[in-house]
Amino acid sequence: MGHRIQGAGPALRARPNPLQTLRGRVALGSLVGVLTAASVFAFVSSNLIRSETAKATRVELDRQSVALAQLVSDRAERDAEAGREFRFFRPANLQRLVGPGSRIYFTGLGLSPGAERPNDRLPAVAAEQLSYESLAEAGVQRIDFTFPETGASAEAAAAPVRLGGETVGAILLARPPSDFEAAWADVWQRVGLASLIGVAAAVIVSLFVADRVTRPLRAMQEATRRVAGGDLATRLEPAGTQELDEVAGAFNSMVARLAERDEGARQFLMKVTHDLRTPLTAIRGHAAALSDGIVPEDQIPRSLTAIEGEAARLETMVADLLDLARLEAHRFRVDTGIVDPAEVLRDAAATLDAEAARAQVRIEQRLGHMPELETDGARVRQIVTNLLHNAVRWTPPGSTVLIEGRATRDVLIVAVCDEGPGVPPGERERIFEPFEAHEAPNGSQGTGLGLAISRELARALGGELGMEPRTGGGSRFVLRLPLRASSVAAPDEVGSLTSRVVG
């Protein structure tokens, strides 16, 4: 039933207090439940058996009193038929029939002089309760009785003595209450023994069940320790229980995701190292050549221009990495204010005028009516600038980059369109992943961070950045922002980019 762990050997750890483990608490809970059930069983069964025992003893008392009365009645009938005078049984002989501790009383009988106790009649308390009508109707009558000799209470039953079909007397049989408890004294020991046996068996079963139930959890605990130690090859196999299998599946997915992030982090560092080394190598090479004087005088401006270009590229990459680090540390600030979206879009376009002119690309603006926007204007301009820069790089010379702006009731919509080769449908989400950079038709290649950071900035402002199909070819990036800052994301919500950077 337990999960098996695939991975390294178990780590050493201190033995925990059994009552602080789930296994111990499950076993303890089962034990408490069993003891409670056993106690309730013993209490209920003992009272039930005690009640039934007393009831059975009273029934036996009634039966014996009726049997005694019938015995006397039969003797009287035989003597009457034979014309003899009735001679009552000796009380000692009758006493042997009912056992020690019981007493027999009688009334209404004419006894012969041969009887040893001719006047052992009913005590007054019994005589007052005795009813011949009740005896004739029910055949037996219960009497609230006390022994006249000791004054102790007793259980008593009276039965009629009949002669010729008429009730001529009564026999009363009395027993002390201890006779009714005698049977229970034997029963409670057996009930207690049965309860103890049941508790012992239940304890064994509960310990077994607790071990079986907690075994997969112990396997998960061990697997978690291994993952925490860096063993991302650890996996849990199904245990055969739906809930635990779902947890194991989630655990395996988590570890697989961690392994992907770990690999992504290594790729991230390799990519950053490579992208930083390339401009540094170019700068160092041109600087060394200039320092050694091996660059012809007419080529010096070219080398200085190359150094300046590589430095600018390095500066852009460092700025992007800084934004990325701020997003990761949740220290990315969003300063909201009232801005004119048309002015923000025009400023962004003006920033790219020189670059567009060098690439022989024209930036066209189609700005409709747009109300004032409550947002971070600098971040909006950064997003649009990144989109325009990307569009200029991918648009062939002599073509046009179009920036459109309009507003609905609650949303500002900004679209940046180019006339480049476009992006296949299956790649439209992938291009927003960090370091997903490709060489543009003009030979340039970006850092692969611009679109990723732009999307995160859009989400930080409460909006969204995506890519939509464009009729006639090319690419169309659409930015949607709320007109009011109430929809802007909280600082802690910014930073989901990190998971995609290392995943």
Residue pLDDT, tens place only, 163-188: 777 887 788 888 887 766 655 556 66
- The CATH homologous superfamily for domain 332-501 is Histidine kinase-like ATPase, C-terminal domain (3.30.565.10)
Residue 89 φ/ψ, nearest 5 degrees: -60, 145
| pLDDT band with cut points at 50, 70 and 90 for residue 405 | very high
Beta-carbon contacts of 365 under 8 Å, excluding residues fewer than 6 positions away, are: 345, 346, 349, 402, 403, 405
What is the predicted pLDDT for the residue at 495? 39
SS3 assignment, position 3: coil
Arithmetic mean of pLDDT, 113-134: 61
Q: Would the pLDDT of 72 be above 90?
A: no
Q: Is the pLDDT of residue 273 over 60?
A: yes
Show Cβ contacts of residue 273 under 8 Å, excluding neighbours closer than 6 positions: none
Q: At what angle do helices 178-228 and 242-292 cross, to 10 degrees?
A: 20
CATH fold of 242-325: Helix Hairpins (1.10.287)
Distance CA 384, CA 348 (A): 6
For the stretch 274-331, pLDDT in tens is: 667 777 888 888 888 888 888 788 888 888 888 887 787 788 777 777 776 676 566 6
Say which residue, 269 or 451, is predicted with more confidence: 451
Asked if pLDDT for residue 387 goes beyond 60, the answer is yes
Output the pLDDT for position 10. Answer: 43
| Rounded Cα distance, 384 and 373, in Å | 15
* Predicted local distance difference test score (pLDDT) of residue 434: 67
Question: Over the range 124-163, which residues count as b (16 or more CB within 10 Å of their CB) and which as e?
Answer: eebeebbebeebeeeebbbbebeeeeeeeebbbbbbbbbb
Angle between helices 22-82 and 91-98 (to 10 degrees): 150
Q: Which of the residue ranges 13-27, 72-86, 135-149 has the most confident prediction, judged by mean pLDDT?
A: 135-149
pLDDT-wise least confident of 117-126, 421-430, 466-475: 117-126
The three-state secondary structure class of 239 is: coil
Residue 191 has pLDDT above 90, yes or no: no
Q: Where are the domains of the chain?
A: 1-228, 242-325, 332-501
In 3D space, the residue among 260, 257, 261 whose CA is nearest the CA of residue 502 turns out to be: 261
Strand partners, 84: none
Give the per-residue pLDDT at 111: 39
Share of the chain above pLDDT 90, in %: 12
Rounded mean pLDDT of the chain?
75
What value does the mean pLDDT take over residues 81-105? Answer: 70
